[in-house]
Structure 1
Amino acid sequence: MSSCRGTVPLLLPLLLLLRACAAAEYEYLSWRSDSYNGGRSYGKPPQCVDIPDDLRLCAGVGYQQMLLPNLLEHESMAEVKQQASSWVPLVHKGCHPGTQVFLCALFAPVCLERPILPCRWLCEAVRDGCTPIMEAFGFPWPEMLTCDKFPQDDVCIAMTQPNSTEASRPADYSPICPPCDNEMKTDAILEHMCASEFALKAKIKEVRRENGDRRVVLQKRKKMLKTGGLKKKDLKSLVLHLKNGADCPCQQLDNLGHQYLIMGRRVEQQHLLTGIHKWDKGSKEFKKAIKKLKTHKCPVFENVFK
C-alpha cells in the first residue's frame, strides 16, 4: 500500500483512494493500529454498510458507506446513531472546520482495505478549537478521543494541511457566548435541552461578572419544564454561571425585562447556564420545541463524555 500512504483529504482524493485501495470483501478477522490503543480488535468480520440518512452527525460527509463495527467499538448501527447524536450540537457550533471530518472518521469510518484513522494533528486542532465550547456546557474532552492515540506519520485522514490558517477557525467564527448563540429552530432548541439537565421559564433579576464568568441570578417566580436533578431548595435560590463568559456577547442577558427559557447543568458545586432563549410565543419553532420536550428522547451524554 505504498501508493496509499500519507494524509487523506476528505473529498475527491479520498474517493480516488477508496477506488484504488478498497477490497470487495473483508478477509481479515482482526485489526489493531499500534498507534491507536483504544481501537477495536474485531471478533467478527467488519462489513461495509450504507450510512443511514438519520445518522445526522455524518450527513453530507462525502462518502456513502461506512465500516461496522466502527473505530469506537460500536457494533450495531443503533449504538452508532445513539452515541453520534451527542456530538451533533458541537458540529453545529462551528468550533473547527474539521470537526465533522474527525468525528465521522471514527463513528462512520470509510470502507477501505484497512481502517484509516484521523491524523493526530487534526485531533489536536479540533480538540483545541472545541474544548472551550464543551467546557461552557460542563463537558470535558473525553478520554476516548485522547489525541496521542492517533497516528502522526502513518496513513491518516486529514482535511487541510496542519499549518493552514483555515484549520484554526471557521470563516463564520463568532465570539458570542456558546449558550447564547442558539438559533430559534426546533431542532437547535431540543439539542440544547438535551445538553442540559434542567430547563425552566423565568425572568432574570441580576447579572454580574465574577472570576471570568457571568453570574446570573433568577427572579423567585419560576416554572420548571425539565427538573433533572434540581431540588426544590436549589430552585429557590438558583444562581447560574456562564462559564468563561465575562466578556463574550450574550444579547439575552442585556435585556432583563423578558421571560426566558433557561437551561442548565450542575457541574461540581456550580449550576452552569447551558442555553437561553427569549420566551417567544409568536415563534412557531419555539412553540413546537416546547411541545416536543415532554416526549423527545435525548442521547445519553454521560456515556460519551467521560
Structure 2
Amino acid sequence: MKCVAALSFWRGIAVALAVAMFSLSSASEYEYLSWKSDVFNSGRIYDKPPQCVDIPDDLKLCHNVGYYQMLLPNLLEHETMAEVKQQAGSWVPLVHKNCHPSTQVFLCSLFAPVCMERPIYPCRYLCESVRDACTPIMEAFGFPWPEMLTCDKFPVGDVCISTPNATEATSPAGFSPVCPPCDNEMKAETILDHMCASEFAIKAKVKEVKREQSDRKVVLQKRKKILKQSQSSFKKKDLKKLVLYLKNGADCPCQQLDNLGPTYLIMGRKVDKQYLLTGIHKWDKSSKEFKKTMKKLKTHKCPAFENVFK
C-alpha cells in the first residue's frame, strides 16, 4: 500500500497526495484511489462532471471536518447539494454518540469528499471498524447498517483513506457504557438531531420499568402529550397503551429510568411491531438549552431518514 508522510489528516492533503505518488517509504494516514476505479465505477453517467463546491455551513455532518471544499457529485452518487444535506443529516446523531473516533472522517470522505481532481476513498478496514463499533448503537435506535455503505465495496489493496485509530473498534475514545438513548447531551442542537431520528416525541412520566430478555420494557403513565408524530408511528388509540422498549438495554445504565418521579421528553420509533425508546430527557424548564429546544421544535426541519436506512 502506498504511503506518505504523516500530516494532519485533512489539512495539507494536496501535498500529501503529491508525496504519495513519488514516495513509498514513510508512514501515512492518506491513501489514494482514482475516480474511475473498477470497484466503484458503475457506469453511471452524470449530467455534470465532478466539480469543486464550498461545504455549506448547514451541512452539519462535515462543515467542521477540516477542509472547506468538496466534490459534487459525491462518492455516494448524490448530484445536488440538497440531496447531500438531506442524506448526510441522518448521520449527525451517530457522530454525537462517539461510537468510533473516525466516524466523521469515514462518512465525510463519502458524503463530502475533499476537492481534488480525483477523489480518495475510505479503506475497507476503516469502514469495517466504524461499522463494528457503531452498529450496536444504530440497532438501539432501530437502524440497520445501510446497504449503500457495505464495506466490501471499499478498497483493500489500493491506496485509500485510513487513520491511525481506524482499527479501534472496541472502547474508542469518548465511548460511554450508558444505554445510547439515555446518553444524550442537554444541548438544543443535539436534542433536535435525536428528535429527528425519532418518529414521535411525547411529554410523559414513566409508570414502571421491567426487564424483558435482553431489553427493558418501559411502561408510561396514561397522561401524555404528543410533541411530534409521523403518520406511520401510532394511532391516537394506541397512545393510551403505549409501551416502549430499550433495545438491548437490560444491563446498561440509564439514570432516567432509575427515577420514575420526573416528567420526561421521550422519543421513539416503531420498528416491526415494537416501539423503541430512542431518547429520554428530563423535562427541565430551568434549563436554557431545553427551553431553546422547545422553542425551535415548531420550525425545525428534519432530514429524511427513511431514504437512507433501507
Query: TM-score, with normalisation over the residues of structure 2?
Result: 0.88
Counterpart position of 2:229? 227
Counterpart position of 2:84? 80
Tell me: CA distance 1:284–1:5, structure 2 relative to 1, closer, same or farther (3 Å).
closer
**1:210 is the counterpart of 2:212:** yes
CA drift of 1:42 comes to 3.5
Q: Which segments of 5 or more consecutive residues in structure 1 lack a partner in the other structure?
A: 23-29
**1:264 is the counterpart of 2:268:** yes
Contact 1:7 1:119 (8 Å CA) reproduced: no
Counterpart position of 1:25? none
* 1:129-161 per-position Cα deviation (integer Å, ceiling 9, x unaligned): 111111111110000000000000101111126
SS in 2 for 1:225: strand
CA drift of 1:225 comes to 1.0
Tell me: CA distance 1:264–1:208, structure 2 relative to 1, closer, same or farther (3 Å).
same
Tell me: CA distance 1:105–1:176, structure 2 relative to 1, closer, same or farther (3 Å).
same
Contact 2:123 2:154 (8 Å CA) reproduced: yes
Alpha-carbon distance in 1 for matches of 2:118, 2:100 = 27
Q: How does 1:52-91 map to 2 (within 5 A)?
A: 52-91=56-95
**Residue of structure 2 aligned with 1:289, choices 273, 276, 293:** 293
Alpha-carbon distance in 1 for matches of 2:249, 2:287 = 27
Aligned-residue RMSD, C-alpha: 2.5
Contact 2:4 2:17 (8 Å CA) reproduced: no
**Residue of structure 1 aligned with 2:280, choices 276, 280, 303:** 276
* 1:183-217 per-position Cα deviation (integer Å, ceiling 9, x unaligned): 11111111111011111111111101111000000
SS in 1 for 2:84: helix
Tell me: CA distance 1:38–1:305, structure 2 relative to 1, closer, same or farther (3 Å).
farther
* Range with bigger deviation, 12-21 or 115-124: 12-21
- Count of aligned pairs: 296
Tell me: CA distance 1:55–1:144, structure 2 relative to 1, closer, same or farther (3 Å).
same
Alpha-carbon distance in 1 for matches of 2:243, 2:43 = 42
CA drift of 1:227 comes to 2.4
Contact 1:133 1:178 (8 Å CA) reproduced: yes
**1:132 is the counterpart of 2:111:** no
* Range with bigger deviation, 80-89 or 2-11: 2-11
Q: Which segments of 5 or more consecutive residues in structure 2 lack a partner in the other structure?
A: 22-33
Counterpart position of 2:181? 179
CA drift of 1:41 comes to 4.5
CA drift of 1:82 comes to 1.7
Query: TM-score, with normalisation over the residues of structure 1?
Result: 0.89
**Residue of structure 2 aligned with 1:144, choices 148, 151, 154:** 148
Counterpart position of 1:51? 55
